[in-house]
Amino acid sequence: MRYLLVDRIDSIEPGAKALGWKNAAMSEDVFEWHFPGRPIVPGTILLEAFAQLAGWLEAVSSGFERWVLLDRVESAKVFGFAVPGDRIELRIEQVPHADPNRRAYRAESLVGGERRSLAEFEAVVVPLDTLDSKERTKAAYEALLGAPPPPASRKGRA
């Protein structure tokens, strides 16, 4: 199963920063056990959402040639919880890294303008085509921006 944790991308400044958001829906299976009677968004889910947004930043910055995979968390701090029904704003900023095959990021999540978490993490750069097709990734990106889907093909339809 593939978990897509970024629901919308508001802006990307190639090579610099990205702004997106995730909706925490009660229908997400993670809330069944985290925690019964008082569901909260796990910090690891926020880290993965940050990593996915970093992937989109790298894809756009490279003309959809590269992606990044989280492999090191330098720090992670939680200041409050996100719960079902919250719209979680995700902000990431790329910071300089000495190795051209790696990226470093600072990330922040907010709910209603209030900070919920901060994280600093690193990722390894990989060719996008080792993970998915360039065309499918571009189409997914357009959908995350809110672009209308392309017209459906009429082939094979009655």
> Looking at the annotation, which residues are catalytic?
34
CA atoms within 13 A on the CB side of 110: 10
Nearest partner of 83 among 20, 37, 49, judged by Cα:
37
Q: Please name the residue that has the structure tokens 């998915």.
A: 132
Alpha carbons 86 and 76: distance in angstroms, whole number: 20
Alpha carbons 139 and 145: distance in angstroms, whole number: 10
Alpha carbons 50 and 109: distance in angstroms, whole number: 9
Alpha carbons 21 and 88: distance in angstroms, whole number: 5
Q: How many CB atoms lie within 10 A of CB 145?
A: 14
